Structure 1
Amino acid sequence: MKIKFSGFALGLALTSVATPALAQTPPPPPPPEAKTSAAAYVMAAGASDQFEIQSSQIALQKSPHASTRRFAQTLIADHQKTTAATIKAAKKAGMNPPPPMLDPGAQPSIAELQNASAGDFDRLYFGQQGPAHQAALDLHQSYAASGDQAPLRMSAKAAVPIVQKHLTNANKMMNMPAGKMSGM
Structure 2
Amino acid sequence: MPKALRIAPALRLALGIAAAPISGMAQTPDYVKAAGMSDLYEITSSKLALQKSRNAEVRRFAQMMIDHHQQTTAATVHAARQDGLRPTPPRLGGAQASIGELNRASGDAFDRLYIGQQIPAHQAALELHQGYAANGDKPALKASAQSAVPIVQQHIQMLQQMPR
**Residue of structure 2 in register with 1:125 after alignment:** 114
CA deviations 1:18-53 (Å, max 9, x no partner) are xxxxxxx98626543189811110000000000000
Aligned residue type for 1:160 = V
**Residue of structure 2 in register with 1:69 after alignment:** 59
**Residue of structure 1 in register with 2:6 after alignment:** none
TM-score (norm 2): 0.86
- Quote the offset at 1:119 in angstroms: 2.4
Percent identical = 54
Cα distance in 1 for residues equivalent to 2:43 and 2:146: 20
Which residue of 4, 11, 14 corresponds with 1:28? 14
**Residue of structure 1 in register with 2:79 after alignment:** 89
Structure 2 counterpart SS, 1:28: helix
Cα distance in 1 for residues equivalent to 2:120 and 2:70: 20
Q: Is 1:140–1:157's contact at 8 Å kept on the other side of the alignment?
A: yes
Cα distance in 1 for residues equivalent to 2:149 and 2:95: 21
CA deviations 1:88-142 (Å, max 9, x no partner) are 000000001101221x211110011010021201100000000000000000000
Aligned-residue RMSD, C-alpha: 2.0
CA deviations 1:41-76 (Å, max 9, x no partner) are 000000000000000000000111011000000000
Instruction: Give the count of matched residue pairs.
Output: 150
Q: Which runs of 5+ in 1 are unaligned?
A: 1-24, 178-184
Cα distance in 1 for residues equivalent to 2:28 and 2:102: 31
Which residue of 50, 56, 63 corresponds with 1:60? 50
Matches within 5 A, 1:143-158: 143-158=132-147
Cα distance in 2 for residues equivalent to 1:34 and 1:127: 31
Q: Is 1:34–1:41's contact at 8 Å kept on the other side of the alignment?
A: no
Cα distance in 2 for residues equivalent to 1:51 and 1:33: 21
Aligned residue type for 2:22 = E
**Residue of structure 2 in register with 1:165 after alignment:** 154
Q: Which runs of 5+ in 2 are unaligned?
A: 1-9
- Quote the offset at 1:84 in angstroms: 0.2
